[in-house]
């Protein structure tokens, strides 16, 4: 398809939009089944100890209750005596629901009540009485920071002589920052509907970011053959990392289904959404040293993060400080402190969202100490190469992000003096920060098939967690095959489809999209072969004489519709399956997405109320396949960044070891009234190395740097530097 009528780069409406807004899109907890049973989880009320007894007699006496399953009567699960892994597992021994009498954290599932209706199951669950032997627990990161151990993740090795250069620097910053626990709260809670089949096989609708990961997990845990497990996730109501690992409702639903030989659904309550993975709190120390001209001579970033007693969860928290700016003397440290909590989990831009808070706030503090503009300081320290890997970037239009973002925002009108800008009783602050996220690509497979009506069907076992995967894959397929987008059906969310990685890390377009592109190009070649077979005069046609577009193959002065080619080929369909992997040419380069975020805040001088009035986010993410869905990703990331900066925090009562604000009434996130004007700019960035599409993905980058920019704007407005997030009005006052 030629560039003028290619669907790539066009703001195509979501192809699944109509199904969603009319309620026809079914989610994991919505599939009907005759005789379906409902499970309700009974959670622990202590943080550490042992179950002495579970009295289920009153629950079983409720008419309509079919079973109560706990560690004493669960079915035998062979793998519970071995270690097993899922694709997003952490170092250590994964959590096993109903494994034994040990209580490892507050909210741990201790029993599953199964009944004819959800209401009956929940009521009966309230009648289960559990006696405990309680042990001392620790859930406070500050209290155990001195006991932290090195994280198993490979932190980039030190380079140069940080200590000497830092001590000798003309200007230095030494600051501590803290970020809190944040819990996943996607619109759709986690649910699994297990359809028990007559032959003992299971068809499962699960809220997941990877159907094949769930299939592998169940195969490993329950010893079921993979052909007896089919996992489906056609629609996912937001995930942000919460569906990367199978959550405990899945094994509990399968356990009940296998034990009872019935179909079972288990849905977690909103409160139970606070009883599994989350973004872990961090304690950060940033040390920056600079010459008088602003050039960085030393960067030190040390972080302590929290983890569970049974797994060492690690994320890339400090790496960004070694790569975003040019500096020859860098020392990075990352430790973990185990607590009596569940294992943390990847959450939108994991590691970068937290780590960049420290780096970008410290850069603002350095700019003030030097008396230079924060944008200018970043330009002076622009890095052509990734210092951690000592590789050049495949592309890096970060300077253009600074320039275009600053121009659109009106940054040149900023008075650098804190408390100098006002709007009536409101102090006005302008702040900015940079952002970075790795542009990864994973192996992936896709199948493309053309039928006799000229309709193209493309499939891969990826998911669409609300990012627009259905739509962008339709655009990529239409462009690569030479058909109109309305003639493409993209099928996903099924473990039986061609292999795909987990949907996360902003690598779905580059991974699955590349496979889709290659499969559709291979299908075009098959269509051409079919024409050559049917028309010998074209057997030696030069490829320059061949074109594809609008559902036709053009060759010399003739054209053949794809549908006619299939009909004449004596096949019902022509199809191709392709296994795609990253190109070797990537290995010589570092690949990353970059951004620059500019923020205006208004702070009420008397009340301390903070409002983010406007945001400009300039993003360099390679080729943008669909600016409408990509723009929505950045908008959503900015809103979450506002939440991270000002509102979002899981409050733990350390006496009880329990999250207290475990509801959407008390877990504060922004509403429409909290959000001002947000403008997204996609900076042009051509990258021929990252993949054939030239796309880097934008799912994660939208949130990175936003909280830092807001914190920097609050300092500019008030003259007060708050280093403990979220920045609530009590801290400003």
- Alpha-carbon distance of 208 to 202, in angstroms, equals 16
Quick check: 25 and 19 in contact, CB under 8 A?
Answer: yes
What are 458's two structure tokens? 């493309």
What are 618's two structure tokens? 């300039």
- Alpha-carbon distance of 250 to 208, in angstroms, equals 10
Quick check: 183 and 268 in contact, CB under 8 A?
Answer: no
Backbone torsions φ then ψ of 494, nearest 5 degrees: -150, 120
Backbone torsions φ then ψ of 721, nearest 5 degrees: -95, 115
Write down the catalytic residue from 188, 311, 360, 700: 700
- Return the residue matching tokens 């008030």: 718
Residues in the chain: 733
Residue-wise burial string across 219-256, b where 16 or more C-beta atoms lie within 10 A, e elsewhere: bbbbebeeebbbbbbbbbbbbbbbbbbbbbbbbbbbbb
Task: Using alpha carbons, list the distances in angstroms from residue 313 to 145, 283, 611, 632.
Answer: 16, 15, 34, 30
Q: Of 697, 356, 675, nearest to 508 (Cα)?
A: 697
- Provide the 10 A C-beta neighbour count for residue 566: 23
Q: 244: helix, coil or strand?
A: coil
- Alpha-carbon distance of 333 to 335, in angstroms, equals 7
- Alpha-carbon distance of 718 to 355, in angstroms, equals 24
Quick check: 513 and 578 in contact, CB under 8 A?
Answer: no
Helices (H) and strands (E) in the chain, counts: 16, 35
- Alpha-carbon distance of 67 to 127, in angstroms, equals 13
- Alpha-carbon distance of 192 to 252, in angstroms, equals 9
Q: Of 177, 221, 178, nearest to 202 (Cα)?
A: 221
Q: Is 700 a catalytic residue?
A: yes
Q: Give the number of C-alpha atoms closer than 13 A to the C-alpha of residue 172, restricted to the C-beta side.
A: 17
Residue-wise burial string across 322-355, b where 16 or more C-beta atoms lie within 10 A, e elsewhere: bbbbebebbbbbbbbbbbbbbbbbbbbbbbbbbb
Backbone torsions φ then ψ of 312, nearest 5 degrees: -100, 95
The DSSP 8-state label assigned to residue 607 in this structure reads T
Backbone torsions φ then ψ of 488, nearest 5 degrees: -110, 135
Return all residues near 99 (Cβ < 8 A) that are at least 6 apart. 71, 80
- Provide the 10 A C-beta neighbour count for residue 57: 10
Look at strands 91-92 and 296-308 and give their pairing. unpaired
Quick check: 365 and 721 in contact, CB under 8 A?
Answer: yes
- Return the residue matching tokens 């500050």: 142
Catalytic residue numbers, as ranges? 700
């Amino acid at each position: 398809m030629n560039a003028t009528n290619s669907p790539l780069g066009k703001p195509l409406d979501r192809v699944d939009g109509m199904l969603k807004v009319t309620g026809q899109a079914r989610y994991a907890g919505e599939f009907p089944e005759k005789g379906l049973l409902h499970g309700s989880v009974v959670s622990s009320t202590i943080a550490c100890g042992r179950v002495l007894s579970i009295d289920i007699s009153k629950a079983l006496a409720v008419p309509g209750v079919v079973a109560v399953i706990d560690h004493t009567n669960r079915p035998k699960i062979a793998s519970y005596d071995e270690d097993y892994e899922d694709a997003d597992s952490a170092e250590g021994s994964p959590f096993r629901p109903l494994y034994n009498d040990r209580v490892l954290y507050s909210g741990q599932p201790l029993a599953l009540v199964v009944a004819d209706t959800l209401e009956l199951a929940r009521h009966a669950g309230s009648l289960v009485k559990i006696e405990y032997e309680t042990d001392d627990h620790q859930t406070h990161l500050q209290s155990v920071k001195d006991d932290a151990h090195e994280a198993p993740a490979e932190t980039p090795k030190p380079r140069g002589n940080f200590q000497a250069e830092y001590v000798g620097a003309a200007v230095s910053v030494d600051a501590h920052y803290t970020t809190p626990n944040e819990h996943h709260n996607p619109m759709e809670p986690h649910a699994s509907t297990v359809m028990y089949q007559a032959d003992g096989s299971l068809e499962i609708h699960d809220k997941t970011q990877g159907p094949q990961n769930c299939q592998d997990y169940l195969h490993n845990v329950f010893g079921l053959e993979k052909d007896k497990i089919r996992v489906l996730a056609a629609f996912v109501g937001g995930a942000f990392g919460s569906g990367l690992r199978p959550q405990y409702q899945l094994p509990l639903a399968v356990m009940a289904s296998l034990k009872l030989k019935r179909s079972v659904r288990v849905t977690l309550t909103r409160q139970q959404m606070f009883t599994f993975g989350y973004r872990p709190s961090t304690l950060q120390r940033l040390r920056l040293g600079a010459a008088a001209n602003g050039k960085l001579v030393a960067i030190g970033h040390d972080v302590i993060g929290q983890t569970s007693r049974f797994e060492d969860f690690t994320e890339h928290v400090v790496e960004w400080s070694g790569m975003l700016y040019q500096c020859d003397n860098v020392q990075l440290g990352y430790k973990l402190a185990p607590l009596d909590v569940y294992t943390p989990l990847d959450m939108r831009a994991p590691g970068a969202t937290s780590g960049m808070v420290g780096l970008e706030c410290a850069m603002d503090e350095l700019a003030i100490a030097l008396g230079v503009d924060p944008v200018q300081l970043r330009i002076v320290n622009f890095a052509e190469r990734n210092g951690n890997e000592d590789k050049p970037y495949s592309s890096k239009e970060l300077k253009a992000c600074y320039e275009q973002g600053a121009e659109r925002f009106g940054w040149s009108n900023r008075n650098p003096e804190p408390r100098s800008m006002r709007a009536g009783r409101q102090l006005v602050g302008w702040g900015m920060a940079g952002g970075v996220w790795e542009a990864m690509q994973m192996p992936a497979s896709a199948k493309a098939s053309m039928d006799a009506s000229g309709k193209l069907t493309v499939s891969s076992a990826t998911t669409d967690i609300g990012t627009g995967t259905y739509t962008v894959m339709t655009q990529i397929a239409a462009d690569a095959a030479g058909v109109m987008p309305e003639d493409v059906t993209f099928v996903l969310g099924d473990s039986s489809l061609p292999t795909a990685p987990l949907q996360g890390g902003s690598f779905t377009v580059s991974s699955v999209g590349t496979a889709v592109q290659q499969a559709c190009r291979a299908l075009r070649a098959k269509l051409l072969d079919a024409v050559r077979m049917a028309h010998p005069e074209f057997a030696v046609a030069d490829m320059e004489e061949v074109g594809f577009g609008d559902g036709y193959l053009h060759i010399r002065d003739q054209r053949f519709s794809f549908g006619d080619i299939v009909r004449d080929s004596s096949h019902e369909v022509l199809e191709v399956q392709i296994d795609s992997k990253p190109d070797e040419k990537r290995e010589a380069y570092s690949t990353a997405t970059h951004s620059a975020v500019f923020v205006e805040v208004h702070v009420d001088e008397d009340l301390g109320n903070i409002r983010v009035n406007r945001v400009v986010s300039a993003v360099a993410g390679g080729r943008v396949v669909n600016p409408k869905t990509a723009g929505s990703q950045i908008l959503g990331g900015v809103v979450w960044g506002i939440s991270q900066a000002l509102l979002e925090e899981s409050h733990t009562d350390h006496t009880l070891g329990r999250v207290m604000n475990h509801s959407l009434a008390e877990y504060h996130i922004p509403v429409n009234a909290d959000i001002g004007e947000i403008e997204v700019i996609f900076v042009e960035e051509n990258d021929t190395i990252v993949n054939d599409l030239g796309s880097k993905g934008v799912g994660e980058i939208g949130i990175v740097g936003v909280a830092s920019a807001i914190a920097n704007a609050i300092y500019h407005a008030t003259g007060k530097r708050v280093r403990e997030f979220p920045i609530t009005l009590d801290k400003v006052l």
